[in-house]
Chains A and B, each alone.
Chain A
Amino acid sequence: MNIPAFQPSMYLALVPVISLIVVALLVLLFDALWDEEKRRNLGWLTFGGILLTMVLTAFLSAPASPSLVWGGMLRHDWLSFTFAQIFLFGAAITALLSMDIPALGRRGEAYILMLVSTIGMILMASAADIVMLFLAIETTSIPLYILAGFFGKDDKSTEAGFKYLLFGAMTSSVMLYGLSLLYGFARTTSLEGVAAALGNFSPGLALGTLVLLLVGFGFKVSLFPLHFWAPDVYEGAPTPIAGFLSTASKAAGFAVLMRVFLTVYPSLEGYWPMLIAIAAAFSMTVGNLLAINQKNIKRMLAYSSIAHAGYALVGFVAVSELGVNSVVFYLGAYLLTNLAAFGAVAVFWRVTGTDAIADYAGLSRRKPWLALAMLAAFLSLAGMPPFGGFIAKVLVFAAAVQAGYIWLVVVGVLNSIVGLYYYLKVLNEVYHHRNEETEGLPLPITAPQGIALVVLSLGIILIGFLFTPFFNLGTVAAAALF
């Protein structure tokens, strides 16, 4: 594809980015103007700003046909559009969930960091150039390092931020090495140019760069064997941030993974699908097995999110339009589901100050609606209809069966059984066990938390019943890569 000269219409591709920058500046302004008590409202500002961004993006930034813009730095296509909407939605919900956590929601920096990170994700999903790709990944990651360690007075949170930074920096540098090799041998930074030059690489070198890149991407999506940071970071990070990390940030990792592998490495399609399949199988198995015995719900969700990275990749190994579509669908459904799960955990933590699974005993008597939201989220994670997780799993499995990966589907299916077991154990606490001491105590849900949970729960059910529009959006998104 030729790189077109600059035209003013290229600004349309940047609508979400520009809009988010404006929102961030507004947050910065009002942060200075408002005093401590009013700063909670920065969350509403962020939420409203992101919703407006979503609408503007939908109307102005819908791509006609795939095109390279801004000197070939970005590729404006339906894949980037779809992922941008997914990230924006995730960020909006995260802003709502953060508002009533005092050490997080009353500080303007938190919202600005979220917005900047979201900008990075949007650029990640559309990057068509090595330089842009790396910058986007760092723009996403650096704010998240800070957010993970945002509770400066809490040792666990500091540990989370620091650990995330160290592992992130390490894997980034490995990936950067791979990118520099690609540039050095191909003498171009454009992904399509690298793909064209890849024929001149020796197979060992080409495969080597692929593995180096996979280290960086695998870290972002918490893929085995680069998953080990997830439990500690999720446990220590503020809960809404952990939810953001496990959904939007993970989805951004998938967006680059799919774009780079399908754009740069189609000539190696004999090798990497098997590599990904093995990593997926291990991610699912390791994640699920380690999740079983967790006592802390955030650690359990961390291991479960490792497993879910594996499920999503099951669709990708098919290397087909249906496969990419199923991954996009899976990530969308997973975003709704996991944000709901973390949202419920955040609500519960705000009042009780505990994340231990055993402390959820009797929740359904104490707060039936919160229990119901958890029911929807956890059953969707387990892949039960009528929730979104079911159709998402069926789609990725269907794509893999089509491509002949029956063994991988069998591994995935066996893993869903393990998953069902530990998700049900949590629901058993919530619904069955009683806790006489806490039964009568109030468990208030604030307005933004309530809105977030209602939207997410309805979304989970909606996407599980009426999946056709989402599937069709995934279809056009997938078509952008083939």
Chain B
Amino acid sequence: MQFPILSVIVFTPLVAGMLLLFIPADRKQEARVAALAAGLFTFAMSVWVYFSYDAAAAGYQFVEKYSWLPALGISYHVGVDGISAPLVMLTGLVMFTGVLISWGIDDRPREFFAFLFILATGVFGVFVSLDLFMLFFFYEIAVFPMYLLISIWGWKQTREYAAMKLTLYLFVGSVIALVGALAMYWTAYQNTGILTFDMLQLEKAGFSATFQQIWFPFVFLGFAVLGGIWPFHNWSPDGHVAAPTAVSMFHAGVLMKLGAFAALRVGIMLLPEGAKLHMNWIILLALVNVVYGAFIASIQRDFKYVIGFSSVSHMGLVMMGFATLTHDGMVGAGVQMFSHGAMTALFFAVVGMVYDQAHTRDIPRLGGVSKVMLWPTIAFIVGGLVSMGMPGFSGFVAEFPIFMGVWQSHPWIALVAVISIVVTASYIIRIIRSVFFGDLPAEFDGHLHDVRVLDKIALGVLTVVLLVLGAYPPVMVPMVETGVQHVLHLLGGA
């Protein structure tokens, strides 16, 4: 029997989180060190999975399958394909850097890390699930710790409101998708006579075109709520802003991918006929995300809201890539999920570092930060170039194929969507200029100092990942392509 590496990755954070609760409350440093050890271990495992994934062989790898509730066809079935393997690594990356960034949390750190790790288990679980029941199981696990993380450790002004809003939005989306999933389950039973939640078997269940067309919008949009699709994106900027730094990183970096990923795996892959019909209007929603998100981001005064809305805009590109149902669009979307995850985690980390010291996120009041915080400035500039889709950075590797895909399927949408690139460039450059350069306002003189070594490590890791992917796309693109091939196969070679 091979080493059950995916299970280890999924359950390490959970077990670590539980163990953390046994550390006495006043031993905060021990709790942090233990959390860091767990984060590093999980990250290392996820990197190992990524680099051992055999792109030539494609398909699902590291598969483990145990029966869970055989009477109803529920199994514990995990595996990664070319699309989910990068996302597993992304989760490990954000978890590790999130722990580093959260070193300064002084209010009940052990509970903070415990909830953060339960969240991580949920996220890993969804990315590796090959069983529909299991996917929901972990999906919900990922939702509730968010509530406590935001409402306890978040930004005082909006945290209660934002936490409740976020939790209810996501829960609504997931339960609506759950009804669709149960409908699929019983219809598959009628068609094939097999009771199973196994997604690999549900792919072959032969749902009628009408069935697929009826249920696709519920399932897809139910999950896409977490992906931040317009007009259900509303929870996301509020949630990002209210959340503490590590949670914003997790949230925008990984959790939103969870929505997009589940929408792909359950929506598009199990109901391809529905996708073919409905994507023609869903791509319009994604277009609104992309363009509207960018415009709203550009008029924000609050540094963190800019990043929050930029996430809405970039996640729109992911949805748009999927909605094209073309090879190029989906490969781009797959890479974009990773690239945006690392990039936005980097952004939120920098925002958090600036806010922790300046105690304001009001862009006009900030300035000259680069004079004291060199590392965050460099990291932010790299992230900004990624965000703009500059060639040589990972954003280009992701966005260029998406636009190519959109051009193939809906040329005029591509024409509108490219506006977002210009707008994105404008607000990123504005932030770089007015926050990081210029004169340091007198009120911050002596208050700002350089960031901790741990923060530098976190920023360094994230920056290097973005640069490597940008400089050498083959490290990821062929892998994602293998995953996309399977999706296209389900779509009937479209």
Contact = CB atoms under 8 A, between A and B. Distances in A.
Most B CB within 10 A of own CB, among A467, A468, A475: A468
Nearest to B172: A417
B144 A401 contact: no
A398 B185 contact: yes
Nearest to B185: A398
Contacts of A431: 148, 151-152
A409 B179 contact: yes
A348 interface: no
Contacts of B70: 468
A314 B409 CA distance: 45
A421 interface: yes
A471 interface: yes
A417 B168 CA distance: 7
A471 B69 contact: yes
A252 B111 CA distance: 39
Interface stretch (B133-141, B255-263, B410-418, B443-451): B133-141
Interface string B421-437: 00000000000000000
A385 B178 CA distance: 14
Contacts of B176: 413
A413 B71 contact: no
A413 B148 contact: no
Interface string B163-177: 110011001100110
B179 A471 contact: no
Contacts of A398: 72, 182, 185-186
Given A431-B151, A432-B151, A406 B140 contact: no
Q: Chain A interface: which size bin?
A: 20 to 34
A410 interface: yes
B183 interface: yes
Nearest to B186: A402
Contacts of A385: 136-138, 140-141
Interface in A384-426: 384-386, 390, 394, 397-398, 401-402, 406, 409-410, 413, 416-417, 420-421, 424
Interface of B is mostly: helix
Given A401-B183, A424-B164, A468-B70, A417 B144 contact: no
A154 B473 CA distance: 74
A402 B185 CA distance: 9
Contacts of A397: 178-179, 182
B160 interface: yes
Interface string A462-480: 0000011001100100000
A20 to B, nearest CB: 32
Interface string A345-375: 0000000000000000000110010001000
A394 B168 contact: no
A428 B133 contact: no
Contacts of A472: 71
Nearest to B133: A394
Interface in B118-171: 133, 136-138, 140-141, 143-144, 147-148, 151-152, 160, 163-164, 167-168, 171
Interface in A40-78: none
Contacts of B351: none
B175 A401 contact: no
B21 interface: yes
B68 A410 contact: no
B71 A424 contact: no
A348 B21 CA distance: 21
A417 B69 contact: no
A261 B185 CA distance: 28
B151 A413 contact: no
B69 A468 contact: yes
Contact of A413 (B72, B138, B179): B179
Contacts of A468: 68-71
A309 interface: no
A410 B172 CA distance: 11
A75 to B, nearest CB: 24
Contacts of A379: 144
A421 B168 contact: yes
A427 interface: yes
B69 A384 contact: no
B175 A417 contact: yes
A409 B71 contact: no
B25 interface: yes
B372 to A, nearest CB: 33
Contacts of B152: 431-432
Nearest to B176: A413
B179 A410 contact: yes
Given A385-B141, A417-B171, A467 B182 contact: no
Interface in B44-76: 68-72
Nearest to A418: B168
B133 A413 contact: no
Given A428-B160, A431-B152, A471-B69, A401 B186 contact: yes
Nearest to B183: A401
Nearest to B122: A385
A386 B141 contact: yes
Contacts of A384: 140-141, 143-144
B160 A368 contact: no
A26 B182 CA distance: 51
A401 B111 contact: no
A364 B160 contact: no
B178 A413 contact: yes
A462 to B, nearest CB: 14
A432 B144 contact: no
Contact of A420 (B21, B137, B167): B167
Contact of A401 (B108, B147, B151, B182): B182
Interface in A258-274: none
B135 to A, nearest CB: 11
A424 B147 contact: yes
Contacts of A475: 71
A148 to B, nearest CB: 34
A428 B168 CA distance: 14
Contact of B140 (A364, A390, A401, A428): A390
B164 A409 contact: no
Contacts of B164: 421, 424, 428
B109 to A, nearest CB: 13
Contacts of A406: 179, 183
Most B CB within 10 A of own CB, among A397, A417, A421, A472: A417
B436 to A, nearest CB: 34
A471 B133 CA distance: 15
Given A368-B21, A390-B140, A394-B178, 19 more contacts: A372-B21, A384-B140, A386-B141, A394-B136, A398-B72, A398-B185, A406-B179, A410-B179, A413-B175, A413-B176, A416-B171, A417-B168, A417-B171, A417-B172, A420-B167, A431-B151, A432-B152, A468-B68, A468-B69
6 contacts: A398-B72, A409-B179, A409-B182, A420-B168, A428-B160, A467-B69
In the A-B complex, the 10 residue pairs with the closest CB atoms: A401-B182, A413-B175, A385-B137, A432-B151, A432-B152, A385-B140, A402-B186, A468-B69, A384-B144, A385-B141
Interface of A: 364-365, 368, 372, 379, 382, 384-386, 390, 394, 397-398, 401-402, 406, 409-410, 413, 416-417, 420-421, 424, 427-428, 431-432, 467-468, 471-472, 475
